[in-house]
Chain A
Amino acid sequence: MRSEMTQMLRLQWQSSRWLLLVLAVICIGLPQASVRLALWVGGDDVLASGRLLAQLGSTSGLYPFLAAITGALVALTAWNWDHRTGHVYALSLPVSRTQYALLKLWAGAVVMLVPVLAIWAGAWIATAMTTLPSGLRAYPFAFGARFLLAALLVYATVFALASGTIRTTLIVTGVFCVLFIGGSIAVPWIESQFGVDLISPTQVLGEAFTSWPGPFRVFGGSWLLIDV
């Protein structure tokens, strides 16, 4: 099993190394850029007045977006070569489909550590080079851990979606779209026409996913590298 794991890791690296390099550059640069920008926009009194937090908050939305992009792209590259060859090579290997998928899942998660380590390093360098006002603290490790969690979540979701055929993926995505779009249009219309109070499936699903203990809760709240 060890040789298969090593080989799968090698394949994953080969299929996504340029993407990982680009992501790593962005991940290492973004925390530094956002801290520098906050210092620059805030002017001379930014450290004294504590306006640093407000300035950092204006760019904090980029981190969950970057985590989602990282997870999604790594998941797509995990299956890319298999899709291109019609999965024939994978299906001819003497491992079960579950085992193959788990090997791929593992390899993708491992290579995703590259951008995660980059964001952690970027956050650490950015905060280490800044003198923080009293009362504020830097959280580079927690920030990196949150990024990892968010990226892994999207990675696992997209990985599962992309593992099937294009038809399966379209069906699953289509069902979700119908549920969300249909729910958000049909429910208000029925409510206004018939004067009834319905439970919107869009709202229920949205809340289930994004509020605690929903899995996508990690994307909510503030993504501040520096906080009180």
Chain B
Amino acid sequence: MEAAPMIEVRELTKRYPGRTAVNGISFTVGRGEVVGFLGPNGAGKSTTMRILSAFMPATSGTARVAGYDVFHEPDEVRRRIGYMPENNPLHLDMRVREYLKFRARLKGMGWGRSRERVDTVLQQCGLTDVQKRIIGQLSKGYRQRVGLADALIHEPDLIILDEPTIGLDPHQIRSVRALIQELGRRHTVLLSTHILSEVEMTCSRVLILNRGEILAVDTPANLERNLGLDGQVVAEVAASASELRDAFRDLPDLERLDLSPLEGGFHRVALTPRPGVDLRPVVFDLVGQRGWRLRELTRSRHTLEDIFVHLTRGRREDP
């Protein structure tokens, strides 16, 4: 059992009346990975997570968590999962400590053990100072931490977080992300988001989901490379357009050259090379030879955002 991957999903399909939410997806997540589920709203992220947490069954296909089938052995699965549902539902009338103790009890912990674990997660999530406060009176950032603390309390093997940073302000997002990165060191984490920079920052692997299907699975870096989206070099050089065109036109490996004038006699030169080629040294040498002034030289890293748009282009969601 121990050798089984943390999550193993095969041909998973979930149909609601009149709509297919998840359409035959398969993927595996190994122990210790931090995997991001990325997709627009309605892509099937929450549905997949609900199935994985044994809240509801799939229409067809199988899903296993730590080797246990989510349909046939739901309690075994639930014991090993810390799940934070969408919108982080909490009992707003309870106090932080009281709530966590209640949740610890539900997850089968005894008196001494739950007290010990509550203290640990309060500290881990930076909630010690607010443990006596009523949850409904806390800011959203703190509530989110309460949700995370609940997900952690029974030391689960796998933590599933459905949109953990939604609705938070930038400061809160930072602190919640830091917390997730911290968790990633000791647990397997599956998180969903539609914020692209988030997976880039926190995840070792990305699953891009759109309209119930997986479009791509890879590390953020590999996705960039394989899709040939990286490598465009932008330089800002003080020279006339014709001089620049003459100088750069015949560079080897160049596929495309764009020039646009800037203020102060500068031009913006955008050079798109063949995939995998870095033009920066060539451009630098060339500019130096000519004695032009150079004020910027960057190689644009395409973000997941570009990858995402690239992959989902032409598959826009119906209105």
Q: Answer yes or no: are A and B bound together in one complex.
A: no
